[in-house]
Structure 1
């Protein structure tokens, strides 16, 4: 019995890698969630973002960040685990066609924001799928915090979500998990910390499930 328990304990150690593409207000939340996972979760978390922290990044400064600090370096600093248990790899740069090879995760969580990011997201998804990795991303996350959050494969959506339709136009038609409130900048609603908390929760638990399925 003791040997069986030890075997189960050994199987619950961190395994694999989850890459976070975008470490802004949402990516930071997901990163912190993943750091706190016990009895499993990723061995390595890859953090990708070219932005530096400024005065508008309130959640960062609340946690002790300084203006001008790389967001990914701050995510790494927050992780107090021994690197033998869990390691954060910081990549303080934007992802483009020129550096896609830096993405090595078993699961890739895409949280890029600002402007039209569809082409970048589609390139990341195609690269990840070519490597055999699983992907998850967002497609509209505006809202006050009490919205219904949809989670399903891109193939399961109808044609009413414009972000989904743009990804499909780029050739992403299946095997990509979407998390969305189906609310967009056009809807005259903000993105509140409550919405980000809920979206981060859903992204985290589904990324962990994808990691488990990838490593089973």
Structure 2
């Protein structure tokens, strides 16, 4: 049997190239998953990823160590070293004073630990002013919970504590609070990362056509 090869396939493949820039703010258990998933996108995905984090890898950062990281390495620098063709490390934590350094088409907010509300609000406001689309979390706790995607304005969960004035900030999560007593499980983080990537790719494909 003779199989006819479409001569346009090569030309179509050439069009499926990386495009756009994504800033991942926080390279912890969720952030490193997001970065690795973005790196793996083939025939598309972002052209460049800025990884922001000033923290170093600790013994309990199991996901980083699975990828070969050494204890004491900076988390953002590890991501850059893992795939420097695409990832640029910014080895500092984003603060209200440095929020202006966030750039690109999409900012994925993966910061955690302590009260992150003020810096989340600052990031979202900065991005809104600079036409950068934002994606964040809305509860990462859970065992069997469904991971939901929605606009922050219309979502229930920890995001309700963040002062968001306008539509457009996408949130992904279980809607569970730390007070609920559920753990943070790797499979929930995997699902959150997956859905964040889907939303990110939708944005990149739309704004770069």
User: TM-score with structure 1 length normalisation?
Assistant: 0.89
Q: Which runs of 4+ in 1 moved over 3 A?
A: 4-7
Residue 166 (str. 1) matches residue 161 (str. 2)? yes
Q: Deviations over 1:101-128 (max 9, x none)?
A: 2211201100110011111011111111
CA contact (8 A) 1:25 1:59 kept: yes
1:185-200 residue pairs with structure 2 within 5 A?
A: 185-200=178-193
CA contact (8 A) 2:124 2:134 kept: yes
Could you tell me how far apart the structure 2 residues matched to 1:106 and 1:21 are?
Answer: 13
Unmatched 5+ stretches in structure 1: none
Q: Deviations over 1:155-199 (max 9, x none)?
A: 222xx42x22222xx244311001110111111110011111111
Could you tell me how far apart the structure 2 residues matched to 1:142 and 1:172 are?
Answer: 25
CA contact (8 A) 1:22 1:47 kept: yes
Aligned residues: CA RMSD: 1.5
1:2-81 residue pairs with structure 2 within 5 A?
A: 2=7, 4-79=8-83
Could you tell me how far apart the structure 2 residues matched to 1:171 and 1:77 are?
Answer: 35
How many aligned positions are there? 204
CA contact (8 A) 1:140 1:181 kept: yes
CA contact (8 A) 2:148 2:173 kept: yes
Q: What displacement does 1:13 show?
A: 0.6
Please name the residue that 2:146 is paired with.
Answer: 148
Please name the residue that 2:127 is paired with.
Answer: 128
